[in-house]
């Protein structure tokens, strides 16, 4: 069988952000049956152990940073977004798409004939045109992960609600650009993967691809430990805080949910926030919130989950599916989430998690877990079974 060429925008790694976690899960599944050549269009992982684990899955691995994301470019696009006609002339393509289209590099592998090229994220699609003539492949498949046009519209709405008009305008313009690119280019792929039934329906109903397939996010089952007895009621949030929906979720919890919980019980309440990339404004807000603690990026999440009475996912916007919810399920912790936070996951309210919208309803759901420990134990047990049957390695292998 011919080898597979895997194109990824970031290194496949086990933690930090969903992009790297999904890439790693798919890489593991593909490497079980194919010889994989991994081309990462970014820098290698800073952690040597993570880098070695990733490269052990590949026949060969190469890192070619092409600057997919540039702060200066982002500022220029934001300023130009107030004049849509000017924006279109200056920036005819979304940032990542344009940088992939203009990337100049020598193909790093001696192998030039592949059975499959696997493209992770839509914005790497232009690389196929650049590689033609240098390498050949029999079929091309695209893992969308997030539908770029839809996710950018949601992010724009978040920024607009926060008064960040320039950011919102830029994202709205990029959403339109991606919508056009998705209509033009998705049909060129032999196979297109999405991570949820919601996105599969969007592609099928919009005639973007004749047969999109669901490639679910997965997690490995963790070693589950009983929550130790402690004086306080501990709630845990895990996520990359440089991602605006995550930082907004933490602010929402600190301002509108945590005070309601504290006012309703005598027991102390602790809100543990785990994740890197914390914006300064968020750090200031958390420092002023009684009971909220920022822990930064943590390599081993097991102790954080072991201490938690529940995991909370108060997201109000975003795309894809939340690997962190599946991770909490795998660690045996009950979850309280908004409908947006848990969408795309086949979880039922009251069976696998508690789902609530709005500050008071979310606080009430957390308080319910405080009052009914047996409910939390039952939710955690059902959620773990859901992970085993729908979001494990076997689910990926069945599709791939």
pLDDT of residue 270: 96
Instruction: Tell me the pLDDT tens digit for each residue of 281-295.
Output: 999 999 999 999 999
Count of CB atoms situated within 10 Å of the CB of 374: 7
Whole-number percent of the chain with pLDDT over 90? 75
- Report the DSSP beta bridge partners of residue 355: 337
- Residue 321: per-residue pLDDT: 64
Question: Does 33 score more than 80 pLDDT?
Answer: yes
Residue 38 or 67, more confident: 38
Q: Which residues contact 199 (CB under 8 A, 6 or more apart)?
A: 144, 147, 150, 212, 320, 344
Q: Does residue 255 have a pLDDT over 90?
A: yes
User: Cα 182 vs. chain centroid, distance in angstroms?
Assistant: 20
pTM: 0.90
Specify the pLDDT at position 218. 87
Judge whether 271 and 291 are in contact, CB under 8 Å.
yes
**pLDDT mean over 34-50:** 93
Give the pLDDT confidence of 151-203 residue by residue, as tens digits.
999 999 999 998 999 999 999 999 999 999 999 999 999 999 998 888 899 99
Domain architecture of the chain: domains with CATH: 4-215 (3.40.50.11720), 233-395 (3.40.50.2000)
Phi, psi torsion values for 369, nearest 5 degrees: -65, -35
pLDDT tens track for 344-388: 899 999 999 999 999 999 999 999 999 999 999 999 999 999 999
- Give yes or no for a contact between 136 and 114, defined as CB atoms under 8 angstroms apart: yes
Res 16 pLDDT > 70: no
Q: Is the pLDDT of residue 21 over 70?
A: yes
Dihedral sign from CA coordinates of 397, 347, 9, 150: positive
Is residue 97 pLDDT above 90, yes or no?
yes
* pLDDT band at 46; cut points 50, 70, 90: confident
* pLDDT 10s digits, 315-340: 998 776 678 899 999 999 999 999 99
Q: What size, in residues, is the chain?
A: 400
The CA radius of gyration of the chain, in Å to the nearest whole number, is: 21
Look at residue 300 in the predicted model and tell me its pLDDT: 85
Structure tokens at 31: 């490497």
Average pLDDT over residues 94-112: 94
Residue 91 pLDDT more than 70? yes
pLDDT given at position 178: 97
pLDDT at residue 155, as a whole number: 92
* Position 396 pLDDT exceeds 90: no
**pLDDT at 230 exceeding the cut of 90:** no
- For residue 70, is pLDDT > 90? no
Q: What is the pLDDT of residues 210-228, one digit of tens each?
A: 999 999 998 887 777 776 6
**Rounded CA gap, 212 and 187, in Å?**
10
Q: What is the mean pLDDT of the chain?
A: 92
């Amino acid at each position: 069988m011919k080898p597979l060429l895997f194109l990824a925008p970031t290194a496949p790694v086990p933690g930090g952000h969903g992009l790297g976690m999904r890439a790693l899960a798919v890489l593991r599944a593909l490497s079980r049956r194919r010889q994989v050549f991994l081309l990462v269009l970014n820098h290698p992982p800073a952690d040597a152990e993570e880098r070695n684990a990733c490269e052990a899955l590949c026949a060969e691995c190469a890192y070619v940073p092409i600057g997919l994301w540039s702060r200066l470019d982002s500022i220029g696009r934001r300023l130009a977004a107030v004049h849509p006609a000017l924006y279109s002339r200056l920036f005819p393509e979304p940032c990542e798409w344009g940088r992939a289209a203009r990337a100049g590099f020598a193909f790093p592998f001696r192998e030039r004939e592949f059975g499959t090229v696997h493209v992770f994220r839509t914005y790497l699609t232009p690389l196929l045109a650049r590689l033609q003539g240098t390498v050949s492949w029999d079929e091309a498949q695209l893992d969308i992960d997030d539908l770029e046009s839809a996710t950018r519209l949601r992010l724009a709405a978040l920024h607009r609600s926060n008064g960040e008009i320039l950011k919102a305008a830029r994202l709205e313009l990029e959403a339109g650009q991606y919508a056009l690119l998705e209509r033009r280019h998705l049909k060129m792929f032999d196979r297109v993967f999405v991570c949820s039934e919601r996105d599969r329906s969007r592609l099928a109903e919009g005639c973007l691809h004749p047969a999109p397939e669901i490639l679910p996010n997965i997690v490995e089952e963790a070693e589950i430990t009983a929550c130790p007895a402690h004086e306080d009621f501990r709630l845990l949030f895990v996520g990359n805080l440089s991602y605006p929906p995550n930082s907004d979720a933490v602010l929402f919890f600190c301002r509108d949910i945590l005070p309601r919980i504290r006012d309703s019980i005598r027991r102390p309440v602790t809100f543990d926030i785990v994740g890197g990339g914390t914006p300064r404004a968020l750090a200031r807000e958390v420092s002023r919130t009684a009971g909220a603690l920022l822990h930064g990026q943590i390599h081993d999440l097991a102790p954080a989950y072991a201490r938690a009475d529940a995991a909370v996912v108060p997201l109000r916007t975003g795309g894809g599916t939340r690997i962190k919810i599946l991770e909490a399920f795998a660690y045996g912790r009950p979850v309280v989430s908004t409908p947006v936070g848990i969408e795309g996951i086949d979880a039922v309210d009251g069976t696998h998690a508690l789902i609530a919208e709005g500050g008071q309803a979310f606080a009430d759901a957390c308080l319910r877990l405080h009052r009914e420990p047996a409910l939390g134990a039952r939710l955690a047990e059902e959620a773990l079974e859901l992970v085993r049957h729908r979001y494990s390695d076997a689910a990926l292998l069945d599709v791939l």
